[in-house]
Each structure stands twice: as C-alpha cells, then as structure tokens.
Amino acid sequence: MTAVDLVGMGNSLTWGYPFGPEASWLELAARETGLVVVNQGISGETTGEMLARFDQDVVRLKPRVVTIMGGTNDAWAGFAVTEVSNNLRAMVDKALRAGIQPVMALPPPLCQTGSDIPLPFLEKMAGLLEGYREACRDLVLSQGLKLLDFYTPLLEPATGWGKREFFVDDAHPGRQGYRVMAGVAVDLFRQLKQQG
C-alpha cells in the first residue's frame, strides 16, 4: 500500500465542487509537488459529520498530515460557534493522538453572485463563518499548528465578500478560485516533500 502523505478532510470546498476532485486545490497542489494525497471532502457535510468519520477516513490511512476545513455547511444550518469549535478541536485531538500533524484551513469567504439566496441569510452565514474562522485561529495559536488561509486571497477587502471572478456561486470557488487556493497550499506541501 502506498504511504499517504496527506489527507484533506472537509466538505465540497475540499472535494472540488462543482468540477470534481481533479480540479480541487488539494489535487492541484499535489500535482505540483508530487505528494500522495487522499481527498476526503464530502459535499454538504458539517464539521460534526466530518468528526464522525474522522477515524475511518483519516486515522485509518495513517497520513503524515491532515488538513481540516469545515464550517460553510454549519453556517448554512445555523450552528453555534462553540459547537463548530468543539468539533474542530476534537478532530485536532484525534489527529495528534494518532501521531498525525493537523493543519487547519480557513474556509473561503462567501460571494454575492446575485443568486436567489436572500442577502440577510447570506449575511447571517457570513457572520457565523467569521466566528468559526476566529475559533480556528485560536486553535492554531493554542496548539501551535500550521494554518492555510483560504480566506484572505479570495476576499474583496472593500466589500468583505469574495471576489466574483473566483466563484461559481455564493459559496463555491470556480477553477480560478481553486487555483488560488492551491497556490496557498503549495508552500506547505513543498515543506512536507522536503521532510519526506
């Protein structure tokens, strides 16, 4: 069995929706660096669902590193920041206990694409997501973890929303958006390659 360098744990933003895993930031960064990665993103999942399958989909594969990114579906469902924070912390704990290096990833911003999703709902989601990101940053600081910032490069600072050219809808990056995310991940992947 080939040794797995890295597992990407997440939702559709890790899986590569709407294009598929071959267009995901994970696959693009792996191609550039030659790392062996396994994409465990499942569209529509919350951090609670990710936590429930973490042993099966991450620990069992014994990767050196796991990237953990979630929250967009939790924000859609309206979950409290403490609940999401606890789920993220539990995944980090499971990884550390198994000798796997956890890397936290900040979810991208939402984008106003003029879809039929009402603006007040999007604004509420964006507020929750910001709370989750803050919890993520706190976790990184308290545990001394590495962080992949997928938020800042896709953000239009003047508006606080995602840059339209990087998104296909209100939440999912387009191909260009995934390429930008891969650019963020490549440095970390290169470090892993050198350590390998």
pLDDT tens digits for 64-89? Answer: 999 999 999 999 999 999 999 999 99
**SS3 at position 22:** helix
| pLDDT mean across residues, the chain | 96
Grade residue 1 by pLDDT with cuts at 50, 70 and 90. Answer: low
- Would the pTM count as exceeding 0.85? yes
Asked whether the predicted pLDDT for residue 196 surpasses 80, the reply is no
pLDDT tens digits for 118-127? Answer: 999 999 999 9
Q: Alpha-carbon torsion 187, 11, 145, 152, what sign?
A: positive
Q: Which domains does the chain have, with CATH numbers?
A: 6-195 (3.40.50.1110)
Is the separation of the CB atoms in 100 and 134 below 8 Å? no
pLDDT tens digits for 21-77? Answer: 999 999 999 999 999 999 999 999 999 999 999 999 999 999 999 999 999 999 999
Measured between alpha carbons, how far is 67 from 123 in angstroms, rounded to an integer? 27
Picking from 125-129, 137-141, 147-151, 187-191, which range would have the lowest pLDDT averaged per residue? 187-191
